[in-house]
Structure 1
Amino acid sequence: MKQNKILSIKPLITKAFKPDMFHKIITKLASLYVILRYPNVPKEYRYFYRDTYVCQLTQLKYVFQDYFIKKPYKRISFSGEFTPDIAFALPFAYWHYKNGTLLGTEGANYTKELYFFSPSHTESFDTRTTAGNYNYETPRILYSHDYNMSKWTPVPLKSLYKNDIYVYDKPIMIVANRYNMEWDGPPISFLSIPFLETVFNKYKDKYQIIYNRPRPENITNDNSDVYDLNEYEWIEENFPEVILMENLYKENRGRANNFNHFQMMVYANSDHFLSTHGGTGALASYFGGVNIILSKRGGEHHFNCFNTLYRMLSGSNVLHARTEDEVITFLNNNF
C-alpha cells in the first residue's frame, strides 16, 4: 500500500522518523506495554494485544486529515483473508466514505460489490495472503482484546441487497458450510454429512433451506486448501427440497456479477443462519437475524470475537457453538 504524504501539521513524532522507523518504534513500545500490563496472556496471543495498540497509534498520523481537513485522500488496500477484509478493512473504508475522506480502495477479486460505495475500487489481488492480514493501517488485525474501534462503521449490506427475487413460501434458512485446511492440518470446524442429515430432516418443512459451500472457482482463495466433502450429490439425491446455492447461481435470476454478489443477494433475504468458523461465519453475521456458528478452535475463542466483533457487523444474534450438540441446542431454542 502506498504511504500517504505526511502533512507538516501532523504530530512532530511522525516528522522525526520515516514511516518504517515510526512503525518499529511504536511496535517496540506496544510490546513493552503488553508485557507489563498483561503478563499472564499466552505468548501466542500476546502479539495481537500488541497489534491492537500499534493499529491505534498508527492512526495518530492522520488526525488532522481525518478530523480537521476532511478532504478525500485515503486509499485503502487490503490483500488479506476474507474475514479481516469484511471485519476491518471494509468498515474502515466505509467510515472514510461517510467521513468524506475516502479517495479509493483496492482489494481481491470479486470485492467490487462489497466496496460498492468506493469512488474508485480496483480488484488487484488474485489470491488472498496471510501476510496481507497484517495491514496496520486498518483499525485492527485478525483478533483484539478491544473492539471499541473508532473509524469503523459496518456496511449496510442487508438493506442494500435485499430483493424480491429470492423469496419463497417459507422463510429462508441458510446453511453455510466449509471443508478447508485449518492451521495446516485437516478440516476441524465443519458440518458433517450425518449432522447435515439431522438438520435437514428437522427443519426442511419449516424453512426453505439453502445450502452453501462455495467451490474454489467461485471465490478468491487464500492459503487454505479446499477439500471435497462429497455432499452435493448426496443432498440432491436425498433432500431434493434443499436448494443448493451453486444451482441458484447457475440460474442467476438476480443477474449477479459474481458469486460474492450473488451470495449477498440471497443472504439479505434471510434471518436464519447456520454457519461455520472463518469467513463463512463472518459473512453470515452481516445480515442480521440469528447466526449460529460452529467453531471448535481458534483465536476467536480467546478474544471472544463471536460475542463482540461479529455481533457488531449488523446487530445479529451470533451464537457460538463449540460442538454439534451445542448447535442442536441453539437450533432448538432459536429456530
Structure 2
Amino acid sequence: MQQLMLKFLYVVASLRYPGIRRDLRYFVRDNYYARLNQLRFIGADYFTKKPYKVVDYHGEFDQELRYVLPFAYWHHLNGTLKKTISCTNTKEFYFFSEQHVEQYEKRVWQAGYGYYDVPNMTHSPTFSYTKFAQVPFKKQYKNDLFVYSKPILLIANKYNIEWDKPPINFLGIAELDRIISTYKEKYQIIYNRPLSTQIVLDNSEIMDLNEHEWIRKQHPEVILMHDLHEQHKGSVNNFNHLQLLVYANTDRFISMHGGTAALASYFGGINIILSHPGGGMEHHFNEYETIFPSLSGAKILHAKTKDDVFQYLSEHY
C-alpha cells in the first residue's frame, strides 16, 4: 500500500511541479507522504491529547534542526510528547522533553530516507507548519555569562567533505582575515568551527583548515569557541550546550551551508549563509526564504559566493 501511494504521489508532484527535475520530485513526493501519514494521529493529537508521541531520530543534524525539533516542540506544547530519542549530547536541544534519551553515538545520514514520522522530512518547495513550533532557544539559554563590551559577531565556519567532494562552503584564512580586520572594532568576534571530538559526526568528514592557531597569533582579540569550552568546562555540559549559550546572546551570524546554517538560524537577528549553488537542494527549492526564516523569524541572507558574504556584511553589519 505504501509503495502504491508513493507512486501516486510522485505523479501528483510531477503534475504540480512540471518544471522541477524528475529526480527532485522524489523529495516532493516524500514530503507529501509524510504529511498524509499524520492523518493517522488526528484523534491522538486533537481529541485524546495524552502523552504518546515518541520522537526517535539519529539522521543528519541539519534535518533534526529543521524538521524534527520543531515537530517535537509542537507535541510538547500540545501535551502529547511522551519521549524523545536522539544522539549523544542532544539533551540541551530537547530541554523541553521530560524524557530524553541519548541513545545513538553516531549519526547515520541514511536514517533520513524513508523517515515519514514528521510532516516535513526532506527538501520541498513548500512546508507544512501545522505541527511545527519555533523552539525558543534564545529565551531558554540567554545568559549573563557570555556578555561583552561589544555585541557579538559569530562566525560559524566549517571545513568538511561535502557530497563526497572536497570542502565547498567555507571561509578560508584570507576571508577570515578580511572579516576580522574590518569588523573587530565594532563587534566582539567569536569564531566557531567544531572539531570531530566535540560533535557527533554523520557522513561529513571534518578536515583541518589550520586556522585556529593562526587566529590566536594574528587576531588574539577574537574569541575561539574551543577556548571558551576549555575555560567553562565546569559550567557547561558539553560543546552543544556551550553553542546554545553563546548563540543565545548573539544577533549577528555568518554561517555555512548545512547544520551550521540551520543552528545559527534559530536565534533571530541576521544570519548570512554561505551556500554555493550546485550542491545542496536548498537552492532548487528556495528554502532560504521558507523553512530557514521559520525557525526563529531570523532575517536570512543567502550568499551564493564569498563576494556576496562581504556585500551583505557591508550592507547589514
1:324 alignment partner, one of 292, 295, 306: 306
1:49 alignment partner, one of 16, 28, 40: 28
The answer to whether the 8 Å contact 1:291/1:317 transfers is yes
1:198 alignment partner, one of 175, 178, 190: 178
> Residues 52-131 of structure 1 correspond to what in structure 2 (within 5 A)?
52-131=31-110
2-structure distance, mates of 1:86, 1:332: 29
2-structure distance, mates of 1:302, 1:136: 22
Letter in 2 for 1:239: H
The answer to whether the 8 Å contact 2:30/2:122 transfers is no
Q: Give the gaps of 5 or more residues in structure 1.
A: 1-20
CA deviation vs aligned residue, 1:248-303 (integer Å, no higher than 9, x gap):
01011771111001100001001010111111111000011010000003200111
2-structure distance, mates of 1:333, 1:82: 31
Structure 2 counterpart of 1:215: 195
Letter in 2 for 1:176: A
Structure 2 counterpart of 1:250: 230
1-structure distance, mates of 2:37, 2:122: 16
2-structure distance, mates of 1:28, 1:66: 28
* CA positional deviation for 1:36: 2.6
1:290 alignment partner, one of 260, 270, 281: 270
Please tell me whether residue 183 in structure 1 is matched to residue 160 in structure 2. no
2-structure distance, mates of 1:255, 1:117: 20
* CA positional deviation for 1:37: 2.5
1-structure distance, mates of 2:260, 2:234: 21
2-structure distance, mates of 1:172, 1:266: 9
1-structure distance, mates of 2:52, 2:98: 11
2-structure distance, mates of 1:183, 1:319: 23
2-structure distance, mates of 1:37, 1:75: 33
* CA positional deviation for 1:70: 0.7
2-structure distance, mates of 1:42, 1:28: 16
1-structure distance, mates of 2:34, 2:9: 10
The answer to whether the 8 Å contact 1:26/1:57 transfers is no
Q: Which secondary structure does the structure 1 equivalent of 2:127 belong to?
A: coil
Structure 2 length-normalised TM: 0.97
1-structure distance, mates of 2:261, 2:57: 20
Letter in 1 for 2:272: I
1-structure distance, mates of 2:14, 2:186: 52
Structure 2 counterpart of 1:140: 120
* CA positional deviation for 1:328: 0.7
Q: Which secondary structure does the structure 1 equivalent of 2:179 belong to?
A: helix
1-structure distance, mates of 2:288, 2:156: 16
**Which has the higher mean CA deviation after the structures are superposed, 296-305 or 153-162?**
296-305
Q: Which secondary structure does the structure 1 equivalent of 2:171 belong to?
A: coil
Q: Which runs of 4+ in 1 moved over 4 A?
A: none
Structure 1 counterpart of 2:7: 28
Please tell me whether residue 38 in structure 1 is matched to residue 20 in structure 2. no
Larger Rg: 1
Please tell me whether residue 149 in structure 1 is matched to residue 122 in structure 2. no
2-structure distance, mates of 1:115, 1:25: 36
* CA positional deviation for 1:133: 1.4
The answer to whether the 8 Å contact 1:254/1:262 transfers is no
2-structure distance, mates of 1:57, 1:201: 51
Please tell me whether residue 334 in structure 1 is matched to residue 316 in structure 2. yes
* CA positional deviation for 1:43: 2.1
Q: Which secondary structure does the structure 1 equivalent of 2:36 belong to?
A: helix
Please tell me whether residue 301 in structure 1 is matched to residue 283 in structure 2. yes
Structure 1 counterpart of 2:154: 174
How many residues get paired? 314
2-structure distance, mates of 1:142, 1:129: 15
Q: Which secondary structure does the structure 1 equivalent of 2:185 belong to?
A: coil
CA deviation vs aligned residue, 1:181-214 (integer Å, no higher than 9, x gap):
0000100010111000100000011100000000
Letter in 1 for 2:110: A
The answer to whether the 8 Å contact 1:294/1:322 transfers is yes
Identical-pair percentage: 50
2-structure distance, mates of 1:248, 1:271: 19
1:312 alignment partner, one of 289, 294, 299: 294
The answer to whether the 8 Å contact 1:276/1:293 transfers is yes
* CA positional deviation for 1:24: 2.4
1-structure distance, mates of 2:188, 2:160: 26
2-structure distance, mates of 1:139, 1:259: 29
